Amino acid sequence: MTVLVTGVAGFIGSHVARALLDRGDQVIGIDNLNDYYDPALKEARLAQFRGRNAFSFQRLDVSDRTAILALVEAHSEITRVAHLAAQAGVRYSLENPFAYIDANVMGQQVMIEACRRLPRCEHFVYASSSSVYGANRKLPFSVEDPVDHPVSLYAATKRAGELMAYTAAHLYRLPSTGLRFFTVYGPWGRPDMSPFIFVRRILEGEPIDVFNHGDHQRDFTYIDDIVEGVVRTSDRPAAADPGYDSSRPDAARSSAPWRIFNIGCERPVELLRYIEVIEECTGRQAIKNMLPLQPGDVKATYADVSALAAAVGYRPKVSLEEGMSRFVAWYRDYYGL
């Protein structure tokens, strides 16, 4: 089949594209290669696909509706869309809010319209985020929980994307599945995320900022587990739930072909233990700069992935210790350390 992967030069997008190519799919990748973080890393991810005839790339922005609609008109063979492009980062949304509206709201609607124009589109799978749970304190986070209290604009745009996909599923019967990612890490990771920042600073002997004085929990999820979940989900298009009762609404079910899943590790880790693991993998001691909780941040994330497990057989396998060891090995190799 032919899969359109947006954000293909990104962390998750590049890994998903490689998995699809390895199993024999055709992949059309798009990315705008913006400078939110070092574009050289994005170029290096793309370089892995050189020589793979089943892969093609176009530099496009998902919010550019003219260019995106022209692309799908020229590639009517596309059968599935993995929409993984987004403006990421909670703290940056406080500085540049319009970047999030453009990429995450306008971009979502453009990709929905693109799917509607594709005559053979079976499934629209898109990236959401655990940040939609916002101020919720009930753990673990379940897809059945209400998500009406986002604490950052980033989270609000991701929730908006879920609702927009529902509307398209309801009105146009476009099979749509949103995946709420929980703190993804691993080789080729994002330099703006704590695994990358902490490893770099610890190896260079620089202090690391430890927010909320270390009183944090995160459901760190290794990239291979994420990719398996994305591919498995893509292979099983969303369908209407025949048992849905509109008189007793359920946030996780619908009479439209629309689904939402958590995709995480189910093993939340204390931030200080996470730092210890990095210290063990790098052989270096961290210099900790203890700071208060940052605006837009949440104290804990913890995924209930039972819905995804029941639907597609998803089960995370990689422990933090194993995954961080692999990441540190990649980091040393990539940067020649």
Q: Where are the domains of the chain?
A: 2-182+223-264+304-316
Q: Are 249 and 299 in contact (CB under 8 A)?
A: no
Give the tokens for residue 38. Answer: 């070092």
Instruction: Please enumerate in sequence order all residues whose Cβ is within 8 A of that of 313, keeping only pairs 6 or more positions apart, or say none.
Output: 232
- Residue 138 phi, psi (nearest 5): -75, 125
Q: Alpha-carbon torsion 315, 158, 147, 133, what sign?
A: positive
Mean pLDDT of the chain: 94
Q: Tell me the average pLDDT across 169-183.
A: 97
Q: What is the pTM of this model?
A: 0.95
- Residue 182, number of CB atoms within 10 A of its CB: 27
- What are the pLDDT digits (tens) for 60-108? 999 999 999 999 999 999 999 999 999 998 888 989 999 999 999 999 9
Question: Could you tell me how far CA 95 lies from the centroid of its own chain?
Answer: 21
Instruction: Please enumerate in sequence order all residues whose Cβ is within 8 A of that of 35, keeping only pairs 6 or more positions apart, or say none.
Output: none
For residue 331, which amino acid is it?
Y
| Class of 2-182+223-264+304-316 in CATH | alpha beta
- What are the pLDDT digits (tens) for 228-274? 999 999 999 999 998 888 888 888 889 999 999 999 998 889 999 99
Strands 2-6 and 78-83: parallel
Active-site residue set: 154
Identify the DSSP state of 3. E
Residue 296, pLDDT above cutoff 70: no
- What are the pLDDT digits (tens) for 193-231? 999 999 999 999 999 998 888 777 889 999 999 999 999
Residue 277 C-beta-side C-alpha neighbours within 13 Å = 18
- In Å, what is the CA distance from 63 to each residue of 20, 22, 322? 24, 29, 38
Identify the DSSP state of 139. S
The span from the CA of 65 to the CA of 82, in Å, is 17
Identify the DSSP state of 249. -
Exposure b/e, 52-77, CB count within 10 A at least 16 = b: eeebebeebbbbbbeebeebbeeeee
